[in-house]
A and B are shown apart, each in its own frame.
Chain A
Amino acid sequence: MRMIRKIGEWFDHRLQLAAPIREAVEHPVPRKTASWLYVFGSAALTVFLLQVVTGILLALIYVPSGAEAWTSLQALNHDVTLGWFIRAMHGWGSNFMVAIVLIHMVQVFLFGAYKFPRELTWILGIFLLLMTLGMAFTGQVMRFDQDAYWGLGIGASIASRVPIAGPAIVKLMLGGPIIAGATLSRFFALHVFVIPGLLIGFVALHLLMVIKLGINEWPMPGRIVKKATYEAEYHALTKKDGAPFFPYAIWKDLFFAAFIILAVAACAYYFGPFGPTGKPDPTIIQTAPKPDYFFLWLYALLSLLPPSLETPALLIGPVVVILGLLLLPFLSGEGEKSWKRRPIAVLTVMLIAITLGTFTHLAGFTPWSPHMNAWSGDPVPDRFIHGTTALQRQGALVFQVKQCRNCHSLGDVGGQRGPTLDGVAVRLTQDQLIRQVIQGGGNMPAYGKNLSPAETTALVAFLETLHPAGQAPARDASRDVVGGDAKPPGGTQ
């Protein structure tokens, strides 16, 4: 023991770090902050360190070359001992990191921790969030499969919409005129050197400020933050009702950190690594690329925005959101911290959570995309053809062959891009059906040039059979008057 102590003293005589470290870990924190709600920051740091370790391990095998990246990932998955597990840890670690960073941010926001004097801590936190998302996107590119390839195309298409500089930004981003080897190499540099380097620096500053300014006290309704008095009040609080961070509060952080690492490992073990999906070969076009889960909401948003709003929303939206987040501590740097007295803050969080959740949910089954194989894979259910005439059956065939099914479902099978047609005859009269098929409209292409008159007649005859039993199809009342085949109003069909 004495030997170890002597060695320790030898080092500390030179490093002079023992005293400041002791002061940092033993600094007093308000007792109530030793809470399970205060563990997300340290959990984010833990996952980040895990990502650094697994990332370095992956870099031992991974080849950042357009020609070989995909093959090297296959080798990691199948040939290298436990390569699949390290890949899975890194992939799941990234999912966990995005989730924990967001939870941490929500907690900090609801507890008013961004208010005076912790404005800069919040601002650095926003940059850390952006870098985390940057790591998530560039990491998806590292997987260099079909999703990564077309995902880059989507990124380039968005970047190209910047006025004037758009085309130049695209070439800078891709490292050339197309998505190719140079693109992967520069995303590798971003993912492995640039962003992690910045992250480490920003995390250090973020932590330093947490120690220097003290952890945010548990907010109490009615305890108002004022710039003139806050710091004195905080020091009084830590003096009166404080406890050293180590060992009073740290044990919860330690437990949660270990729990998160085990959770990542469990997900990695049970669910395995992400991809890679198909080869990054742009001549294979039978693919429907999809982003990883943290960008699914964006995928949904890009499908649902009206075309005219899309470019402004893409270019102005992020600027407004980021500026808003950065300005938040200056707009409400004082006042109530407790969520119990900040209904707008609580509602904002709920609104954002519900919006993102809904978009993410929608992106799970993409009702806006045509089902490319529905016309050949999903036959018209039998019950829609029972007791139909020859002409109507011919129409059902036209309906199938002309790929109407790709966008329209029948009996819950088929695309959801257009409305389901189970009861279309109740909504549209014969004339309206003909007009809709031939001219299109709404969001439907015009089929006039692609259907012969005979095909249109058959198709509409089939569509007219699509109404629930016992419910009469729509009909044009004026026909009763104008046409020769007058029927009494309200007569049965």
Chain B
Amino acid sequence: MPTSTFTPTKPAPKDKEVSSSNEISRRGFFTKLGILFNGLAAAVLAVPVVGFLASSITRGRGNGYLSWVPLGPVSNFPEGETRLATFRNPYVMPTDGKTVDTACWVRHIAGDQFQVFAINCAHLGCPVRWFQQSGLFMCPCHGGAYYRDGSRASGPPERGLFEYPNKVENGVVIIQAGELPTPGAVAFLAGEKPPCA
């Protein structure tokens, strides 16, 4: 916008005459000091602001989000079969609603031997479904498929399904869970990559 029409508050010429070079440097000094003071205030404020924003990262350090959660008694999972189980995420906020309920696939191999797979496809996280008859997990999104032991069978995933560490305590299957498994953050998940077929 043109500013030439803005006339009424032109500085009076008197001001200019009075201001000697000494005064300007004095004012200049205080202006610089003022900017510096504001910089200091901004730096002080930045500490809580960054701390607040990054809290979701810092809180999860050292597996801070992970806990052991029960999936149900061993008798819920017949030997040799793969069943869907659900658990409540250990870290819950009051506004979470149903989103903290999580599903996973439990494969009872034999005795106390279990494999617990994340529901999320190792490609981009869509929910995989188990097909008993063909012994495959299939993903509806981009066509990933996995064998019954979670290893990659075909499609775009670069690895097998994510696995939760699991154990049986007092006849109950428990898993260590709490974070959304993603291809880039698998450190907390049990094994290395399952062997590819």
Q: For the complex, is B178 an interface residue (Cβ under 8 Å from A)?
A: yes
A171: which B residues are within 8 A, CB to CB?
Answer: 56-57, 60
* Nearest CB of B to A403, in Å: 4
* Nearest CB of A to B19, in Å: 27
A180/B157 contact (C-beta < 8 A), A171-B56, A372-B138 known: no
Q: Are B125 and A153 in contact (CB under 8 A)?
A: yes
Q: Are A157 and B142 in contact (CB under 8 A)?
A: no
A285/B89 contact (C-beta < 8 A), A178-B99, A447-B134 known: no
Q: For the complex, is B21 an interface residue (Cβ under 8 Å from A)?
A: no
Q: Which chain A residue has the least Cβ–Cβ distance from B182? A: A160
B128: which A residues are within 8 A, CB to CB?
Answer: 285
B143: which A residues are within 8 A, CB to CB?
Answer: 303, 368-370, 417
A176/B93 contact (C-beta < 8 A), A157-B183, A182-B56, A369-B141 known: yes
Name which of B1-9, B28-36, B69-77 contacts chain A: B1-9
Q: For the complex, is A331 an interface residue (Cβ under 8 Å from B)?
A: no
Name which of A119-127, A237-245, A276-284, A332-340 contacts chain B: A276-284
A181: which B residues are within 8 A, CB to CB?
Answer: 93-97, 99
Within 8 A of B (CB), among A45-104: 65-68
Q: Which of A172, A283, A450 contacts B102 (CB 8 A)?
A: A283
Q: For the complex, is B185 an interface residue (Cβ under 8 Å from A)?
A: yes
Interface size on B, residues (CB 8 A): 65
Q: For the complex, is A377 an interface residue (Cβ under 8 Å from B)?
A: no
A303/B142 contact (C-beta < 8 A), A176-B91, A177-B180, A401-B133 known: yes
* Nearest CB of B to A291, in Å: 10
Q: Are B183 and A160 in contact (CB under 8 A)?
A: yes
Q: Are A172 and B89 in contact (CB under 8 A)?
A: no
Q: Which chain A residue has the least Cβ–Cβ distance from B149? A: A449
Q: For the complex, is B81 an interface residue (Cβ under 8 Å from A)?
A: no
CA separation between A208 and B94, bound complex, in Å?
46
* Nearest CB of A to B146, in Å: 8
CA separation between A158 and B156, bound complex, in Å?
13
A150: which B residues are within 8 A, CB to CB?
Answer: 125-127, 141
CA separation between A168 and B56, bound complex, in Å?
9
A175: which B residues are within 8 A, CB to CB?
Answer: 56
A161/B99 contact (C-beta < 8 A), A176-B56, A370-B143 known: no
Name which of A19-27, A347-355, A467-475 contacts chain B: A19-27
Name which of B39-47, B116-124, B163-171 contacts chain A: B116-124
CA separation between A179 and B136, bound complex, in Å?
26
Q: Are B57 and A154 in contact (CB under 8 A)?
A: no
Q: Which chain A residue has the least Cβ–Cβ distance from B91? A: A177
Q: Are A154 and B126 in contact (CB under 8 A)?
A: yes
A372: which B residues are within 8 A, CB to CB?
Answer: 129, 138, 140
Q: For the complex, is B103 an interface residue (Cβ under 8 Å from A)?
A: yes
Q: For the complex, is A166 an interface residue (Cβ under 8 Å from B)?
A: yes
Within 8 A of A (CB), among B85-114: 86, 89, 91-103
* Nearest CB of B to A150, in Å: 6
CA separation between A66 and B96, bound complex, in Å?
5
CA separation between A157 and B181, bound complex, in Å?
8
Q: For the complex, is B158 an interface residue (Cβ under 8 Å from A)?
A: yes
Q: Which of A68, A159, A162, A167 contacts B97 (CB 8 A)?
A: A68
Chain B 143-166, CB-CB to A under 8 Å as 1, else 0, gives 101010000011111100000000
18 further A-B contacts with Cβ under 8 Å, apart from A178-B180, A307-B157, A450-B135, are A67-B96, A157-B182, A166-B184, A167-B184, A171-B60, A178-B91, A178-B179, A180-B93, A180-B96, A208-B1, A280-B99, A282-B98, A285-B103, A288-B140, A406-B131, A417-B143, A440-B154, A445-B134
Q: Give the 10 A-B residue pairs with the shortest CB-CB distance, closest first.
A: A160-B184, A67-B97, A166-B184, A181-B95, A445-B153, A153-B125, A160-B182, A167-B185, A288-B140, A177-B65
List residues of A whose CB falls within 8 A of some B CB.
Answer: 16, 19-20, 23-24, 65-68, 149-150, 153-154, 156-162, 166-168, 170-172, 174-185, 208, 279-283, 285-289, 299, 302-303, 305, 307-308, 310-311, 368-370, 372, 375, 401-404, 406, 417, 440, 443-447, 449-450
A selection of 24 A-B contacts at a CB cut-off of 8 Å is A16-B5, A65-B95, A67-B95, A67-B97, A153-B180, A154-B124, A157-B124, A166-B184, A172-B57, A178-B178, A178-B179, A178-B180, A180-B99, A181-B96, A280-B98, A282-B102, A285-B127, A303-B141, A303-B156, A305-B156, A307-B156, A310-B158, A369-B143, A372-B138
